[in-house]
Amino acid sequence: MLVTRYLAKDLFNGKTVFVTGGGSGINLGVAKNFAALGANVAICGRTQEKLNAAAAELSALGAKVCAVAADVREFGALEKAFARSAAELGPMDVLVCGAAGNFLVPAETLSPNGFKSVIDIDLLGSFNASRASFEQLRATKGTIIYISAGMAYMPHAFQVHVGAAKAGIDMMMKNLAIEWGRHGVRTNSIVPGPIEGTEGMKRLSGEAQLAKFINGIPLKRMGTVDDIGQAAVFLASPLAAYISGCVMVVDGGQNLAGSALFNMGAEQMLRAQEG
């Protein structure tokens, strides 16, 4: 459910939010939550057709939208995209770095090019966006929100490339919080847990496997794109005016050490007692 259930619909009136990778998935969900609260929204991605479809959804929420194709790996392309956004919507108040790449692969068969590709999209792309947006954010005393992942601090099999990229993003975020704080620019990361309807979760096959996966989450449910959108809205709002350099985990407790093993053990004990 969009954040308008909880917050004033005009909270971000007159503000401009730019979301990289905003054409689909979690990032589009984040963009929608800002749009629902009155923000002007700019999105970029590599496919203009996908961006146009996303822009229509954002416009339906009442937002003024700028959708421009740009590859985050290309600094010059981002500079042009940000300049166009500023010309059409006004200077940027919030940057959400969400563009990312991922695929499951054992480390022993991961090619150097495959590793580099994820690093370039996730880490280099996040730096490029941060650096290219700096002058606008310094002028507005804005904020940057990075979409990270649990692999940044909890190792996952077949995700060595993503773990390295996201850990780099979180450390970069903390460094920028120190360096750019004097300009009034805040930086934070959001770590989504398992989010329903996303490409990653679609790879789980079968209801039985999915049910077992959900059972390992302490809150016993999947997250939604609006769970992440609401976290982003909070971090960009005046409610979080003194929060910078923070990694906010929004995963229902999934990545707590031992959560899945404890839950399975506790369930077995309860069943034994009931029997």
Catalytic residues: 148, 166
* Six token digits for residue 261: 């093993």
CA pair distance 38, 87, nearest whole angstrom: 18
Which amino acid makes up residue 124?
L
* 3-state SS, residue 10: coil
* Six token digits for residue 101: 């790449």
Give CA separation, 239 vs 35, 63, 97, 108, in Å: 18, 22, 21, 45
Please give the distance of CA 56 from its chain centroid, rounded to a whole number. Answer: 21
User: Taken in order 175, 122, 12, 250, is the CA torsion positive or negative?
Assistant: negative
* Six token digits for residue 230: 């609401």
* Six token digits for residue 242: 């003194």
